[in-house]
Chain A
Amino acid sequence: MALSRKFALRMAGVDITRITARKESILASKAAKTVLQKDIKDIEKIPPLRPGSEIPASYKYIYPEFLASTDMVRRNTLCEKLVRLDMLKRRTVLSIPEFYPGSIMAVTISDPNAPNKLSRFVGICICRGGNGLNAFIILRNVVDGLGVEIMYNLYNPTVREIQVLRLERRLDDQLFYLRDCAPEHSTVPFDLDVTPHPTGVAVPLNETVLKLNPHPWKTRWELYHFRGITFDPKELPLGRAKQLEKALQPHEWVKFDIMKKYRNQIVLEDQEEMFKDIYQFNNARLEKRRSRR
C-alpha cells in the first residue's frame, strides 16, 4: 500500500507547475544533452554534479532512482542510506543498464505460471519512476493488434534480466500518449536483436513528433505540454480549445515562488550524498576490470 500511495502522488503530478513544465522540459533536455555527450566509461570527461564535486552530472539521468523523494514528510536519511546499500547489493547480482524513456527494452522475470518458469516481455519504456527499491518502469508493446503495458519493479527479486535492445531518448519523459497514436509507433517484434551502443558516443535523441489519432482520446493530452505530439487545436471537442488557451497563459508568480522550487527539488549537496555509494561502486568495478587486463 505504501508503494501505491507514493506512486499515486507521483502519478498525480503534484510537483508539476503550469506552463513552466514545457520550459523546464526543454531546459532539462538541453542540460541532458550537454551532460550525456560522453559514455559512462569516460567518467573523467563529464562535468561534475556541482563545482568541486567528483560525481559526474550525468548520474541524475542514469541513476534517478538513487535520488530520494522530494516529499520532506516522508524523508528519513538513515532509511534512505540502508535502501541505497540494498540497491547496490542487488546490482552486484543483476546488471541494470543505462536506459531512458523511449529506449526499447526486454525484461525477463521468473513466473511460476509460465511454461518454462520464465517470461520475457519486449517493449518501449514509456515511463520510469519511483525512488529507491520501489523504482519501476512501464514497457509498452502492441501484440497481435492489442496494446499491452507491463509495469516492472527494477529491484524486484523475481527480475532475472534487464536488457536494453536499443538505447535512445525521446522528447518527453513520459510516453503515455502512445496509447492514442498509430499502433506502429509502439510495435516492437519480440525477436528484436540487441543494437549495442558504441562507447564514447552520445545517447541519440529521437526527435520524431507523432500525430495523435482523431478524438476521442484516452486522456486530454493537449494539456500536458508534451513536445513529442502534434494535433490541430481546431479539431478539439467543443470548449476544449478555449480551456487550452486559458491553460497556456503562464502564471507569473511561479518564478518568484522560491519555496515551491526548493520543495520540488533535492539540493545538490544532498544529491552528492545520494550518488556517493553508486559512484564508489562503479569505480570499484572499473578498477577490477582494469586489474584483470
Chain B
Amino acid sequence: MISRVQPTFSSLLRSYPSVPFPPALPARTFSTTEGRLLIRHQTRMRVVDNSAIGQQCMAAGKWAKVFHVYNKRRVGTLGDKVMVAIMGQKKRGYIVGVVRRQMVPGVPTVDTNNLVLIDESGAPLGTRINVPIPMMLRSKKGDIAKILSIATRFV
C-alpha cells in the first residue's frame, strides 16, 4: 500500500530495519505497511516446530495469526509470549525469530517471524524445532526454558 504523505523522520526510522530508502522514487511513495515488521495484533507468523497442528497450518498456507501479545507494549519481540489463532483454534506460543533489525549487535534477525507453540502448562506441543533459534533466548527465565530444550541449533 502506497501513501501520498510526505515521509517524516519517524517514518524513515520505521523504514530503517530493511534497506535504504529507494533513491529513484518521488518522496510520497513510502510504505505504510511497514508495520508488518512488528509482531502485534493481526500479524501472521510461521510455526517452526513439528507439532501436528503447526505442520497442518503451514501445509495449508494459513499462518498463525497473532491476536494478543503478553507484554505492556503490545508489540512482541524475541522471547515474548503471544496468543494466536491457528486452524480455528486458540493457542499460545513463544516468538523465536524476528524479521525486524535488532539494535543489539550479535542478535540475529531472520527471514520470517517464527513461532513455537506451547500448551496450557507451558510445555511445547512439538518435539523438535527445525530452524536455528537465537542464542540470546537462553538468557530468558521462566517457561521459555522448556522450549529451548527441544531446539536443535542456536545461532
Contacts and interface: CB of A to CB of B under 8 A. Distances in A.
B153 A143 contact: yes
Interface stretch (B10-18, B59-67, B70-78): B10-18
Nearest to B152: A144
Contact of B24 (A9, A150, A151, A225): A225
Nearest to B14: A8
A16 B20 contact: yes
Contacts of A10: 20
A102 B131 CA distance: 25
Interface residues of A, number: 50
A166 interface: no
B23 A147 contact: no
A59 interface: no
B110 A174 contact: no
B24 A18 contact: yes
A247 interface: yes
Nearest to A1: B103
Contact residues of B: prevailing secondary structure? loop
A148 B20 contact: no
A156 B105 contact: yes
A136 B20 contact: no
B12 A148 contact: no
Given A12-B12, A144-B153, A21 B24 contact: yes
Nearest to A137: B105
B135 A148 contact: no
B52 interface: no
Contacts of B154: 114, 119
A223 B24 CA distance: 6
A224 interface: yes
Contact of A146 (B102, B111, B136): B111
B17 to A, nearest CB: 8
A152 B106 contact: yes
A224 B20 CA distance: 9
A13 interface: yes
B111 A179 contact: yes
A212 interface: no
30 contacts: A5-B13, A10-B20, A11-B15, A11-B16, A11-B19, A13-B21, A13-B23, A111-B106, A113-B138, A119-B106, A143-B131, A143-B155, A144-B130, A144-B153, A146-B97, A146-B111, A146-B132, A147-B110, A150-B109, A174-B19, A219-B18, A219-B19, A220-B25, A223-B22, A223-B23, A223-B24, A224-B20, A243-B25, A244-B24, A248-B24
Interface of A: 3-5, 7-14, 16-19, 21, 109, 111-114, 119, 121, 136, 143-153, 156, 158, 174, 176, 179, 218-220, 223-225, 243-244, 247-248
**Closest CB pairs A-B (n = 6):** A13-B20, A147-B111, A247-B24, A223-B22, A16-B23, A113-B138
